[in-house]
């Protein structure tokens, strides 16, 4: 029944604009594993809602795509924001955990599983996936069009530059840029006085 409601309610209410759409998208709340007060902007697509958890005050921007099917799990904590056009894909046994007060820039892609491609006699599309995990700790800023690959952890307070491709863990308070992302600086406390 939940899958039927998901298939019906999300496409039906996804494109209704303005405050009316925001209010009507509150009807999605029972579809999720848990859902605080969340603002879903027009064009949002959610597939696998029963495997998604949202804290209160989460904002999902226009045209975001959220997936958690085939054993996937997605959790977004309180006060985090996905800017327009973000794709978060925890499908194929993947796991994505986004902490509180995280800002994710437009066009960013988080993908927790990769295609298998080790067998030459079987098409890549038929080899299945290698599941992974992406963890983004609290108070992280991810710039526009960044890409996070499976099995990475972004430490608390880190900044990921626009267009960066994150292929390994980033320490807390680090500033990482580039392809692949590398740490160029560490955030510092404001001087006292």
**Catalytic residue (choose from 8, 12, 115, 124):** 115
User: Which long-range contacts link 95-99 to residues 24+ away (Cβ below 8 Å)?
Assistant: 95/131, 95/132, 95/133, 95/134, 96/68, 96/72, 96/133, 96/134, 96/135, 97/133, 97/134, 97/135, 97/136, 98/136, 99/135, 99/136, 99/137, 99/138, 99/139, 99/140, 99/156
Among candidate residues 110, 43, 105, the one with its CA nearest the CA of residue 74: 110
Residue 115 is a catalytic residue: yes
Catalytic residues: 115
């Amino acid at each position: 029944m939940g899958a039927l409601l998901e298939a019906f309610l999300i496409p039906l209410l996804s494109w209704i604009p303005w405050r009316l759409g925001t209010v009507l998208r509150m009807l999605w709340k029972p579809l999720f594993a848990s859902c605080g007060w969340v603002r879903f902007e027009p064009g949002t697509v959610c597939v696998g809602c029963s495997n998604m958890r949202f804290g209160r005050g989460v904002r999902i921007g226009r045209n975001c795509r959220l997936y958690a099917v085939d054993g996937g799990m997605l959790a977004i904590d309180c006060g985090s924001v996905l800017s327009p056009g973000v794709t978060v894909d925890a499908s194929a046994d993947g796991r994505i955990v986004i902490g509180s007060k995280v800002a994710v820039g437009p066009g960013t892609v988080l993908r927790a599983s990769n295609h298998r491609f080790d067998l030459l006699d079987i098409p890549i599309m038929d080899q299945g996936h290698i599941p992974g995990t992406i963890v983004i700790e609290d108070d992280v800023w991810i710039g526009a069009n960044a890409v996070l690959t499976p099995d990475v952890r972004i430490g608390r307070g880190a900044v990921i530059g626009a267009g960066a491709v994150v292929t390994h863990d980033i320490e807390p308070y680090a500033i990482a840029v580039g392809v692949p992302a590398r740490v160029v600086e560490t955030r510092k406390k404001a001087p006292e006085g």
